[in-house]
Structure 1
Amino acid sequence: MAEHHDPRRPGFPPWAGRNFRLLVGASFITGIGNSGATVAAAFAVIESGGSATDVGLVAAARTAGMVVLLLVGGAVADRLPRQRVMAVANIVNACSQALFAALVLTGHATLWQMAALTAVGGGALAFFSPAAQGLLLATVEPAHAGQAFSVYRLATNAATIGGSAVGGALVAAFGAGWVLAVDAAGFAVAAAMRARIDVAHADRGPRSGGMLRELREGWQVVASTSWLWGIVLQFAVVNGMVNAVEAVYGPLVSRESLGGAGPWGLALAAGGAGTALGAVLMMRWRPRRMLVVGTLGVFPLALPSAALALTLPAWALAAVMFGGGVAIEVFAVNWMLALHQEVPEDLISRVSAFDWLGSVALTPLALALAGPAASVFGRTRALWGSSGLVVLLSLAVLLLPDVRRMERKPRPASPQPVRTPAQDSNAAL
């Protein structure tokens, strides 16, 4: 149950109580650390004599660790107090990053060790992310869910932007090992903060079977709900396209036609600034048709690849990325609101795990195929193809009746259960 805010405490809105502040503060700390550590890990591989392929392998290990354990993490987060799941995940991250830092600082880090420790971090994230999705709404009153989601995402996006910049500067000044050590300490602090979150352990219903049965229940919700599986499938491809553009095509076009890494870095920073503005916008805007507005926010993600295909000047590319950042934040907040409004609380982490799995599963494949696609079809055609896929999939989602019909509920009520086929069968007996 969300606690009431002490009105005598200055600097916070009335709905942002102690639990919410602890959750957001811990997320900001780990967000800064993670972003800096991503930069540090890449330079740790390079400084140990690794190649560009080795850097990619270590980065891919994190995604692989997350994908393998996501569904288990979702089931665990629906069984146990979510703040404890998040705290334990932070402790695991703290230990893996501390060992990573020690290996780098002593000069004994090997490629397999760095990949394995990064995979451990990804595995911890597989438990953390579904639990975070389920816990956020428990820290505020339902009437303030939209504002809470916006503030949460504003904090995490700001941490990502700031962490990348600070991490790069610290790596240059002190070396990758010390940045990894600071990240480990940040995870330890965040674990302590999350352990202090005090929310009532809601009754999530009787446990009638093991973890496999519970995962089937989560899958039944996704598979039987068109707006859920439609948007999850959409983002399996859209995220792959966006990552291929940002990690492969953007740097290449910038190096060859825009003047080097600087313009592309400016474009990425503009995109980050756009997400911040989008979060501020969503603190006040409460669209009635959440998923229609959210899906419209996906269309601008087709513009960066089009801008690169046209080789627009750096300022125009930055403007396009800024607009895309605003738009995707509109989608993200409305998507979180829809999940919490329509999915029962006892299933939210499992459903979120399937959402996360769909969001990241095709990204490694898209990254691996980006180069070959440019070789076979030409980079310009590959970029236009990326834009076309984003547009076509977004149009397909808008054709789903449940997407067009869903409306924000007029009052803060408990979510209406999305019944599984098994539940419907039991009700008929």
Structure 2
Amino acid sequence: MGDAYGLGGDLAMVRERRFALLLAARTVSVLGSGFAPIALAFGVLALPGARATTLSAVLAAQALPMVAFLLLGGVVADRMPRHRVMTAAESVNAAAHLCLAAMMLTKWAPLPPLLVASAVSGIAGAMLFPALTGIIRDVVPPGRLHSANALLGMGTNVSKMAGLVLSGGAVVLIGSGWVLMTSGVMFAVAAVLVTMLRGSPGQGSPGGAHSVLADLRDGWREFVSRQWLWVAVAQFSILMMAVQAAYGVLGPLVARQHMGGAPAWSAVLAGEAVGMAIGVVLAFRLRPRRPVMVATLLTLPTAAPYVLLGVGAPLWSIVSGALVAGVCFDIYGVLWNTTVQREIPGESLSRVSSYDSLGSLMLGPLGMLLAGPLAVTVGAQPALIGCGAMVVLVSMLAVLFPGVRELRVPDVRAVPTRS
């Protein structure tokens, strides 16, 4: 696909006030999210009487409500101005993290308040993500969606890497409570920035006359009526089951048993992070006419680090495979988000996005649950090879569907500019 703007035009988008505010808000919010997990984990474990089961309960209290409330988040974001939904979500997340910080600093942290604060944070995330997908289309003209998603991806990756590099040291230097407080302040800053967006003229609304169930049924019809959409979500759901098994359990096991432990595994994760930074730069220029087919094919190389780990390859080759996987995942994200934002009607976009997110998340925990028994019965390395084979198989199956292969990008010059 030809580029109507060029790289200079892509980067010039940061001078557009509404997009610049959204970019700044997401960059700050993701940085806060990058600091929080390590601070929460070490903060909980440092509490008097805390055990591994305490941490598991706190993390589950955050993760389960996020999944459970995603569909409701999509309905809310299609009914209300999305910048207000995002403002509320960031504000609630800020309050939850400030409460967690206060509990860590005072050492008064009974389990029930910890669970409640974590659950509130998870619900805030469920409200935020469907609104985020929709608001990009509200803020950015149709012909600039690809550039907008690439720039947002760049900001997100920089924040993720900064969080990965700085959070551990910050916990050691100033303590988990103060780091969680810093995260809370970052979420509050993001809320203020999103508030300044004010008004999203491109957003439709299904109106208040419909019930939540009716809105969910309408969103489901939009979702299943597009073969490319439900096939790609089903494929990615299975892929994420393999990813969670490999990165959450099997990879660390192999690193501990055969590669010297945490330093080697950190190198693998760093390789993927570097790959994601490279991928978002490449995504500016890669604008295929068949974006869903190309995105699906890009998931094939993501099997490389799992297979290399499974066959006992040298560390440098595993890191290289992780770097390639990071590149592919990031380009995939830009192509996918742009396609969804372009193809789905604005009044249904957040609900469809919530079904997309739910599908992508729901099998991940199953992968982690199955990984342990598989490591015991067949061994961690054969299980990793199986994860790689699963990624390849499901990706090739997805490409067989005509909707995935044939969806094309319309000529950007034929798309009317939103007034």
For this structure pair, what is the TM-score category when the shorter chain's length is used for normalisation?
A: over 0.9
1:71-82 matches, within 5 Å, as: 71-82=71-82
- Partner AA of 1:308 in structure 2: L
1:124-135 matches, within 5 Å, as: 124-135=124-135
Distance 1:360 1:26 in 2: 24
> Residues 278 and 238 of structure 1: is their aligned pair in 2 closer, same or farther, counting only changes over 3 Å?
same
1:237 pairs with 2:238:
yes
1:252-291 matches, within 5 Å, as: 252-291=253-292
> Residues 96 and 214 of structure 1: is their aligned pair in 2 closer, same or farther, counting only changes over 3 Å?
same
1:63 maps to: 63
1:38 maps to: 37
> Residues 364 and 115 of structure 1: is their aligned pair in 2 closer, same or farther, counting only changes over 3 Å?
farther
2:400 maps to: 399
Q: Secondary structure at the match of 2:69?
A: helix
2:185 maps to: 185
> Residues 102 and 413 of structure 1: is their aligned pair in 2 closer, same or farther, counting only changes over 3 Å?
farther
Distance 2:107 2:205 in 1: 51
Deviation at 1:387, TM superposition (A): 1.1
2:6 maps to: none
1:366 maps to: 367
1:26 pairs with 2:25:
yes
Distance 1:356 1:395 in 2: 22
Native 8 Å contact 2:307 2:385 kept in 1: yes
Distance 2:406 2:53 in 1: 47
1:36-115 matches, within 5 Å, as: 36-48=35-47, 49-115=49-115
Farther-moved stretch of structure 1 (235-244 vs 45-54)? 45-54
> Residues 293 and 275 of structure 1: is their aligned pair in 2 closer, same or farther, counting only changes over 3 Å?
same
1:163-202 matches, within 5 Å, as: 163-202=163-202
1:136 maps to: 136
Native 8 Å contact 2:241 2:368 kept in 1: yes
Native 8 Å contact 1:142 1:412 kept in 2: no
1:320-339 matches, within 5 Å, as: 320-339=321-340
Q: 1:378-410 deviations in whole A, cap 9, x for unaligned?
A: 222211211111111111110110110011111
Q: 1:83-124 deviations in whole A, cap 9, x for unaligned?
A: 110010011001110110001100011334323322211110
Native 8 Å contact 2:36 2:183 kept in 1: yes
Farther-moved stretch of structure 1 (385-394 vs 124-133)? 385-394
Distance 1:277 1:192 in 2: 30
Native 8 Å contact 2:29 2:186 kept in 1: yes
Unaligned runs of 5+ in 1: 1-9, 416-429
- Partner AA of 1:19 in structure 2: R
Q: Secondary structure at the match of 1:13?
A: helix
Farther-moved stretch of structure 1 (320-329 vs 110-119)? 110-119
Native 8 Å contact 1:154 1:280 kept in 2: yes
2:248 maps to: 247
Q: Secondary structure at the match of 1:232?
A: helix
1:3-14 matches, within 5 Å, as: 13-14=12-13
Distance 2:318 2:115 in 1: 34
2:5 maps to: none
- Partner AA of 1:224 in structure 2: S
Q: 1:399-428 deviations in whole A, cap 9, x for unaligned?
A: 11011001111125569xxxxxxxxxxxxx
Unaligned runs of 5+ in 2: 1-8
Say how many residue pairs are matched.
406
Deviation at 1:55, TM superposition (A): 2.6
Once the two structures are aligned, what percentage of the paired residues are identical? 37
1:418 maps to: none
Native 8 Å contact 1:242 1:301 kept in 2: no
- Partner AA of 2:40 in structure 1: A
Distance 1:281 1:158 in 2: 15
What is the CA RMSD across the aligned residues, in angstroms? 1.8
Distance 1:300 1:51 in 2: 39
Native 8 Å contact 2:303 2:388 kept in 1: yes
Deviation at 1:206, TM superposition (A): 5.0
Distance 1:113 1:265 in 2: 33
Deviation at 1:29, TM superposition (A): 0.8
> Residues 38 and 15 of structure 1: is their aligned pair in 2 closer, same or farther, counting only changes over 3 Å?
closer
Q: 1:11-54 deviations in whole A, cap 9, x for unaligned?
A: 95157411111111111111111111111011012111433343
Native 8 Å contact 1:150 1:280 kept in 2: yes
Deviation at 1:178, TM superposition (A): 0.4
Q: Secondary structure at the match of 1:187?
A: helix
Distance 2:10 2:281 in 1: 17
1:159 pairs with 2:185:
no
- Partner AA of 1:28 in structure 2: T
Native 8 Å contact 1:147 1:284 kept in 2: no
- Partner AA of 1:219 in structure 2: W
- Partner AA of 2:28 in structure 1: I
Q: 1:184-228 deviations in whole A, cap 9, x for unaligned?
A: 111111100000013443352553522210110111111222111
1:224 maps to: 225
2:116 maps to: 116
Distance 1:340 1:346 in 2: 11
> Residues 203 and 18 of structure 1: is their aligned pair in 2 closer, same or farther, counting only changes over 3 Å?
closer
Native 8 Å contact 1:139 1:199 kept in 2: no
1:294 maps to: 295
> Residues 114 and 164 of structure 1: is their aligned pair in 2 closer, same or farther, counting only changes over 3 Å?
farther
> Residues 306 and 52 of structure 1: is their aligned pair in 2 closer, same or farther, counting only changes over 3 Å?
farther
- Partner AA of 1:17 in structure 2: E
TM-score (norm 2): 0.93
Native 8 Å contact 1:39 1:168 kept in 2: yes
Native 8 Å contact 1:45 1:111 kept in 2: no
